[in-house]
Amino acid sequence: MRRFNLRSVDLNLLAALEALLEEKSVTKAGARLFLSQSAMSRALGRLRAIFDDQLLVQSGRTSVLTRKAESLQPELRQILGSIQKFVAPEEFDPSTAEGSMSISASDAMIASFLAEMIRRILFEAPQVHFSLNEPQSNDPELLRQGHLDLLLSAHRLDSDLHSTELLIDNRLSCLVSRSHPLVGQKLTKSNFLQHGHIELGTPTGAVIERRLEKKGYKRTLSLKASSLISAAAIAAQTDWIFTVPTIFAITAVKMFDLEMLEMPLKLVDPGDTPIALYMTWHERCDSDLLHSWVRGLLMEQLKDWAFF
């Protein structure tokens, strides 16, 4: 049996072979592949050497296929069809998609937008399983190890191994109980600073506090809460003001006995760190179809809250 080195075969020759066998003409095959007649003749010469057969022979004024060439056609079509299928972009169908997504997000994020998004996903992709985790200090390492798929955070993760998308650069609103004396009034700088406030003990809360300090605003901090949910619940039962990103404020007034007031202070200057929401994932998931679909849904859902 003649020994054959597969590395010597240029896959472009398979396309040339297909054109030659179907057109039965060097000239027509070259025109079909946008190759000159001489380039097509060289390709035919290489194919003849590979198959040890003339493949295309002259018969009067026309060319005909050899028996070897005729025998190659059915398998060649199958091979080229398989290659095309192999390299063609894969289509994503949510209704048949299977897999899992592990997401790190706070309770406030889940209440504000994730719960609604997951409801939609479970309707469109019922076989996808979700795992929602409280944010951890080692989330970047969990992303790297593949134990976490998506991290939602107020901080941008600077790493060459991770991809990050800014989802929200958000404005702020003030939450007060519906029985608060400020309800029905325009919230001013003066009455904002005169009332007691709930401090949020999270990264987002820290950004808000730094902004207020930078502007020289001194509030009376009556309570420090560890989460947006608990702070909103307490605000609903007191006369304290709770300042939060607007996207959460809209959700909180549906969950608790609260009113939302417009923030009277301008806290954001050009170059300031945004009061933001970042979506971060490991670069290994960049092209994953399920992962890309979920990220796209998040961006679509939050696009109206992006103030870039």
pLDDT at 9: 60
Question: How many whole angstroms separate alpha carbon 175 and alpha carbon 180?
Answer: 10
pLDDT at 167: 77
Question: Beta strand pairing status for 150-153 and 99-104?
Answer: parallel
Question: How many whole angstroms separate alpha carbon 14 and alpha carbon 10?
Answer: 8
| In contact, 106 and 200? CB cutoff 8 Å | no
Question: How many whole angstroms separate alpha carbon 34 and alpha carbon 30?
Answer: 6
All structural domains of the chain with their residue ranges: 6-87, 97-169+274-305, 172-262
| In contact, 258 and 252? CB cutoff 8 Å | yes
pLDDT at 306: 53
CA angle 249, 255, 256 (to 5 degrees): 85
pLDDT at 51: 87
Residues whose CB is less than 8 angstroms from the CB of residue 152 and which lie 6 or more positions away in sequence, other chains included: 103, 104, 105, 106, 109, 114, 167, 277, 278, 279, 280
Return the number of other C-beta atoms located less than 10 Å from residue 147's C-beta.
13
pLDDT at 178: 94
pLDDT at 12: 80
Burial 236-247 (b: 16+ CB within 10 A, else e): bebebbbbbbbb
Predicted structure pTM score: 0.57
pLDDT at 88: 60
pLDDT at 7: 55
Residues whose CB is less than 8 angstroms from the CB of residue 9 and which lie 6 or more positions away in sequence, other chains included: 50
Return the number of other C-beta atoms located less than 10 Å from residue 166's C-beta.
14
Residue carrying the six token digits 């079909």: 32
pLDDT at 176: 95
**Third-level CATH fold of 97-169+274-305:** D-Maltodextrin-Binding Protein; domain 2 (3.40.190)
Q: Print pLDDT tens along the chain (308 aa).
A: 445 454 556 778 888 888 888 888 888 888 888 888 888 889 889 888 888 889 888 887 888 888 988 888 888 888 887 777 776 666 788 888 888 889 998 887 888 788 888 888 889 999 989 898 888 888 888 888 888 999 988 777 777 778 887 777 667 889 999 999 999 888 899 989 989 999 988 878 888 888 888 888 888 899 999 888 899 999 999 999 999 888 788 888 888 999 999 888 887 766 666 667 788 888 888 888 889 899 988 888 777 655 43
| Domains 97-169+274-305 and 172-262 belong to one CATH topology | yes
Residue carrying the six token digits 């003649």: 2
- CATH 3.40.190.10 for domain 172-262: yes
**Third-level CATH fold of 6-87:** Arc Repressor Mutant, subunit A (1.10.10)
Tokens of residue 1, six digits: 């049996």
What is the Cα gyration radius of the chain?
32
